Amino acid sequence: MFDRHLRPLIDPPLNRLGQGVARLGLSANQVTLIGLGLGLAAAAAIWSGAFWLAFVLILASRLADGLDGAVARLRGVTNFGGFLDIVCDFVFYAAIPLAFVALDPAGNGLAGAFLLLSFYVNAATFLGFAILAEKQKMQSDAHGVKSLYFTGGLLEGTETIAFFLLLCLFPDAFGVLAWGFGALCLITATARVMLAARVFRG
């Protein structure tokens, strides 16, 4: 919901940082993998109960996730780069809830499973819409220059990152927060299905 509104604010500093990263000789794909590594480290920190460390690592991971696009725009966007980016994003999004389940399977298991289900359904509608949008030659730069079509929704990347940070601040409330956020994910997915029905009906 907030991604497109934040892009004009975050893209200029990210582009400047991206220039520095590119001068170091790092490719966009390398930055993507660094971001994934930081995200998995955050999941490991959650599993061990080091929530403040996880908080910092999540922020660092998402900074890298923004920088890879800035580097790609300087060196050239590739289809594989877009593919790698979305795969790493989904691995990160799954790893954080899984870490909370691993931390307390009895207390967090059911809520965590529901949250992962909602992510799975939401991702399916997102990728399915992107595939059909490509077939229809649809284009949008509302979310910046991307390798695939991004549909907006109630919950997007900004909200998910904020949710993960909130979980690190209030880990004992994981169950309540996961049920609530999962429900909003399913609402987002339903809205995307309804949009697809209107856009692609013909």
Count of the separate structural domains present in the chain: 1
**CATH number of domain containing 135:** 1.20.120.1760
Q: CB 143: neighbour CB atoms within 10 A?
A: 16
Residue-number span of the structural domain to which 107 is assigned:
3-199
**Can you give the pLDDT at residue 34?**
96
**Can you give the pLDDT at residue 139?**
67
**Can you give the pLDDT at residue 143?**
42
What pLDDT tens digit does each residue of the chain (202 aa) get?
Answer: 545 545 656 666 776 777 777 778 788 999 999 999 999 999 999 999 999 999 999 999 999 988 888 888 887 788 899 899 999 999 999 999 999 999 999 999 999 999 999 999 999 999 998 888 888 777 665 444 555 556 666 677 789 999 999 999 999 999 999 999 999 999 999 999 998 898 888 6
